[in-house]
Structure formats: C-alpha cells, structure tokens
Amino acid sequence: MGIGFSLTAVILLVLIAMVGAGAARLEVLFGVVFPYLALVVFVVGFIYRVVMWARSPVPFRIPTTCGQQKSLPWIKPSKVENPYTAWGVIVRMALEVLLFRSLFRNTRAEMHNGRLAIGSAKWLWMAGLAFHISFFTIVLRHLRLFTEPIPFFVQWANRLDGLFDLAVPTLYMTDLLFLVSVGYLFLRRVFIPQLRYISLAQDYFPLFLLLGIGISGVLTRQLFKVDLEAVKELALGLTQFHPTVPKGIGLSFYVHLFLVSALVAYFPFSKLMHLAGVFLSPTRNLANNNRMKRHINPWNYPVKVHTYEEYEEEFRDKMKAVGLPVEKE
C-alpha cells in the first residue's frame, strides 16, 4: 500500500506540472510562485523543527557508544567510539557526518544450516555515501544557474563531473551515480522482507520523488532540449527577487522544477531532516563522562507531594471504618 500510494502521489505531481505549465500555460505559477512558496515552507519548517528539538529536555547523558569507556588509568579508553572530551565528540561527529561510520559497521544476520551467521554488509554504506556525494555535487553544479560570474569551484566541479564525456550533451557521472544509489535504496526496501515489513509511505515517497527528480533532470538535459539561457535568466531573477519567465523554456524543465519544489517543501516534515537532526541527537553529541563528572537533572525541581502521613491523617476515620490498618489510632 505504501509503494502504490507514494508512486501515485509522484505521478500526480508530474501530471499537475504537465497540465499546469503545458496545457494551462501557467508558467509564472510553476516557475515563480511554487519555488518561492516551497522555499518559505522549507525555511519556516526547518527552523521550527530545529527549535523544537533544541527545546527538548535532555536531563541525562545518553550517548550511544561501542568502545571502552574511560575508567581506570591502566585501561585504555576508546577516544572516538566512546568519547569523554569535546574533541572526541567532534571527531566522532565528523566521521559520522562525512563518512557514515555507523553504517560502515552495518551487519546482517542469516540462518545457515540451522545456525545464526552474522556477516558484514557494506552495500548500504556504499549506496548511502554514493547518494549523498552525488546529491551534493549535483546541487553544487546547479549553482552555475544562480550565479554570475560562476564561482571557480562550481566550474571545477562541473568539469570533473563531466570528465569522461559519456554523451553529447555531457552525461554527468553523478547523475548516473545518483539514480543507481537511489534505485538501490528503493530495491532493498522491496526485496528485503524485514525491511519491507517496517517500511511506510513516508519511506517510499522521498525515494520516488528523488527518482523523479533525477530522471526528469537527465531527460531534460539529454532528450527534451531546453533553452539554457532562458533557464539561467529565470534562475537569476529568482535569486535577485526580480523574477521574469522567458518564453520557450520547455515543459520538461517545469516538471523538473515542480518536483524539486515539492521536495524542498516536503523536506522539513520528512525523515530527510536527519540533515539537522544528527547534530542535535543526544546519542551523538554528548561526551560519555558519567564516571568523571556528576550530572544533576536541571529539571528536577521541588514537587509538592502528598505523604502517607498526610494521607492517613485525611482518611483515617474512613480507613478504620472499612477495617484498613492505620499507624495512628
């Protein structure tokens, strides 16, 4: 049900863009209004989620660790896997954010001849790393549409990404890597029974949306030609808050832009918010120094309690009337 619902939702988004920007000629709505609206929703939703997470009380040190904690002097502690200093936390967070260290240790459990066998599983780590690197590179390349002059690092990324000239126009390596990695993340949810059992529509919808963005982007560049000068004129106008919609950009561009706008608006309310959540997770951003320092719950304020003595004083006659024992006669 989750797969069908998510796929139908993405197909409807594509049809809405095709009908609206194509048949109804609502280029201003799909080229200006929806991108601005998506950006506002993204910024407000992002700030709201971060503020709500930041306000959540964390009265205890609950870092998730997998190494030796610092204790006795002759026992060597694990400074990264079980950090007890701020620098240890920074190094651990950097390895997690940049290299997905926790996914690298991913394992799988299977039954072989009646015995449980646990082995390494690096495919998820490789697909996750490939997806994030390709996604970041694609966003970096697209900055050439929003800047004039184009920054040097954007030009370098564009040249390196299209180094092999796989097609004319250039088929970028990260475009293929993006589609392959997202496709793998989707297929593993379909073909692994345990993962399929716990997967919901909110797990499939971002994957279908990302696939739609990737496919529409590749088709827009390779098959359905668009006027790149007109696209850059529109992009620069959006950036400078003086948007103009040139004629003849191409329908496939509006489909691609509408899907990107949908992703941007959906981002703060989805699991994709781990982009910010990883930095605010108390299981990651706290040092495990419970043996070195006493931590007192700052929310442990005095509470008015009703003691047993007060309870008995209030209900002694009724307790004696029904035969309940009392401490004071």
Classify residue 326: in a domain, yes or no: no
Q: Structural domain tally of the chain?
A: 1
What the block records as the tokens of 204 is 């499939």
- Domain membership flag for residue 327: no
Write out the residue range of the structural domain in which residue 164 sits. Answer: 2-302
Q: Is residue 232 part of a domain?
A: yes
Q: What is the pLDDT of residues 297-328, one digit of tens each?
A: 777 778 888 888 898 888 988 988 898 888 87
pLDDT score of 181 more than 70 = yes
Q: State pLDDT tens for residues 73-93.
A: 899 999 999 999 999 999 999
Q: According to the model, what pLDDT value does residue 51 have?
A: 95
- The residue among 163, 135, 158 whose CA lies nearest residue 147 is 158
Q: Answer yes or no: are the C-beta atoms of 272 and 46 closer than 8 Å.
A: no
Q: Which two tokens stand for residue 140?
A: 């970096």
Note whether residue 214 is domain-resident.
yes
Question: For the chain, what is the mean pLDDT?
Answer: 90
119: which strand partners? 108
Q: Considering the domain boundaries, does residue 319 fall inside one?
A: no
Mean pLDDT of 50-72: 88
pLDDT in tens, 129-155: 999 999 999 999 999 999 988 999 999
Tell me if 308 is assigned to some domain: no
Read off the CATH number of the domain in which 280 is found.
Answer: 1.20.950.20
Per-residue pLDDT band at 224 (split at 50, 70, 90): confident
- CA–CA separation, 28 vs 32, rounded Å? 5
Residue 322 lies in a domain: no
pLDDT at 278 over 70: yes
Residue 20 inside a domain? The answer is yes
pLDDT band for 20, please (50, 70, 90 cuts). very high
